A and B are shown apart, each in its own frame.
Chain A
Amino acid sequence: MLFRPKTKVCLVLLQVMEIIEQIREEFPALHQQVWGKPLIYLDNAATTQKHCKVLELQERMSSFTNANIHRALHKLSADATDLYEAGREVVRLFLGAESREEIIFTSGATAALNLIATSLVRSYMTAGDKVLICEAEHHSNIVPWQLACEAFGRSVEVLQVEENGEISLERLSELLEADHRIRILAVSHISNVLGIINPVAEIVRIAHSKGVLVVIDGAQGVVHDKVSVKEMNCDFYVFSGHKIYAPTGIGVLYGKRSLLESMPPYMGGGDMVDSVSFSGTTYAPLPLKFEAGTPNFVAAACFKPALEFAAAVRDDVQVQEHEKRIVATMVEELQRIKGLKICGLPKDLSLKIPIFSLSIEGVHPSDIAQMLDKMGIAVRSGLMCAEPIVSRFSERGLLRVSFAPYNTIFECETFISKLKLVINMLL
């Protein structure tokens, strides 16, 4: 009897390992050698590998269903349009949005944030109004606001995070209470450096109580947390395809319909118009109003297989357990390494996702990254496109290790042992 629980635990672990191995089979990029070593890909927060069904659709559509969407009356164009719109429907379901009009395709999260910043700062704010930006944002959720604010005479304020990387809701309330010129809050669902799930629904509630609009950068959030824009009640939510198993060059902007209706178009061009004349142009209804030019329709269609896979792994209890185990192993083992600090460690570990940014006393992250690369381990070093928050922890940049569901516990343990080896060599 005494051994039974243990046996059960072992069986569960074996089952999980099997599931992860099955997932790995669906990602061709994982099965290669780098510098003669099996690849251990731990740079998933920068971009994930592509699912085989994504690659298949990309190939098939480029080969046989390549026709410009929406306008033409021929069969190929109609088929391409159907696939494009099917991609939109999957995104709508994935985000829990109410209507297809609220889902705009862009070239990525960066383009989506530029669109929102330019349109909102121009149309929603008046001179002297402010945008509040969280300190831990990616440059894509900082620079577009700076550019737009500079152009239209508005300004930017910063919401600092706590020493452990968490957002203080009290601080947020105080800031909004003290400054009534703040009209927009820009914050990430999960920072690409800190890897902590922010209490977005609560943040939205506080902001809305002060009449402040909320723009959420969900580039990491969609991958690691369940999203329902309806429940979250955010005004805008953006993410990129390439970070969630889809191709590069496609991204999504979700916006509340009433807001999108009231915003002026961002780019002019084909397909975003109703009627064009030199005496005046009228615009197409949503979502096309914001989709000027030929979009990356192949990549958009690939959202279907990519997000179907993402939703399946996200909702799988065993995959969730696996992710928790990676987090627990990383936290436990990393904290044993002398001089190592995990930047972004919430009090409640269930809020930590497997993105780890590390500073190690006396060792430069680029030295570590170079040596790990030679061992077949892909990690990232430097500023992670988030200089403000990274500089707060280290003037030399950080080492970031980020996992996807296809990374095994063995890979996690290999990383830790190689990291120790490299640190010993470099110190």
Chain B
Amino acid sequence: MIEIDQIRSIGEIEGEIVSEFSLFDEWLDKYEYLIGLGKELESINESDKTDDNLIRGCQSRVWLVCRNDGGRLWFGADSDAVITKGIISLLLKVYNGQKYDDIIASDFSFIEKIGLRENLSPTRANGLLSMIKQIKAYALAYKEKEAQQ
């Protein structure tokens, strides 16, 4: 696991991804890269692939789990579609180990900057938007839970 002091800010990681993607001239290279990320992404436990963890409204199935470790959130996600897994991999890179306040404040605009905006439109059934909503919902839920304690 990454040490907490090694976790860089959301903005920093987003900037890195944006510059990485700026190297691709062709959309095909971009997708090839995403497919590569998707294939490398570690699967979550089969036992976590439950209906409760399934994100609704996606054409591909996406499962998302979240763990709170002292105010920092760690996500695990999986999908049966490899491009979706590639996008998941990017989201996990950015948001894993971040404080929930930072996640709540984040605007997820890097998705647009790397030219995957068409994947974000709410009418798209690939679940990216639902996934982002769910990540934020986890952050809000943990924040609320802590406020109650």
Residues in A lying within 8 Å of B, measured CB to CB: 35, 364, 366-367, 370-371, 374, 381-382, 396-397, 425-426
Cα distance A382–B81 when bound, in Å? Answer: 12
Cα distance A425–B31 when bound, in Å? Answer: 9
Residue ID in chain B nearest A369 by CB atoms: B59
Cα distance A367–B61 when bound, in Å? Answer: 12
Cα distance A374–B35 when bound, in Å? Answer: 15
> In the complex the two chains form, is B28's CB within 8 Å of A364's CB?
no
Residues on B with C-beta less than 8 A from A382 are 59, 125
> In the complex the two chains form, is B27's CB within 8 Å of A374's CB?
yes
> In the complex the two chains form, is B60's CB within 8 Å of A364's CB?
yes
Residues on A with C-beta less than 8 A from B83 are 366-367, 370-371, 426
Q: How far is the CB of B78 from chain A (nearest CB, A)?
A: 12
In the complex, B140 has a CB within 8 A of chain A: no
Q: How far is the CB of B77 from chain A (nearest CB, A)?
A: 15
Residues on A with C-beta less than 8 A from B61 are 396
Given contacts A366-B81, A370-B126, A396-B80, contact A426 B27 (CB under 8 A): no
Cα distance A370–B82 when bound, in Å? Answer: 11
> In the complex the two chains form, is B31's CB within 8 Å of A397's CB?
no
Residue ID in chain A nearest B125 by CB atoms: A382
- When the two chains form the complex, which single residue of A35, A367, A374, A425 contacts B81, counting CB atoms closer than 8 Å? A367
Of A366, A370, A371, chain B has the most CB atoms within 10 Å of the CB of A366
> In the complex the two chains form, is A374's CB within 8 Å of B126's CB?
no
Residue ID in chain A nearest B30 by CB atoms: A374
Cα distance A426–B28 when bound, in Å? Answer: 12
In the complex, B89 has a CB within 8 A of chain A: no
Residues on A with C-beta less than 8 A from B60 are 364, 366-367, 396
CB 8 Å contact bits of B40-53 with A (1 = contact, 0 = none): 00000000000000
In the complex, B32 has a CB within 8 A of chain A: yes
- When the two chains form the complex, which single residue of B31, B35, B126 contacts A366, counting CB atoms closer than 8 Å? B126
> In the complex the two chains form, is B28's CB within 8 Å of A367's CB?
no
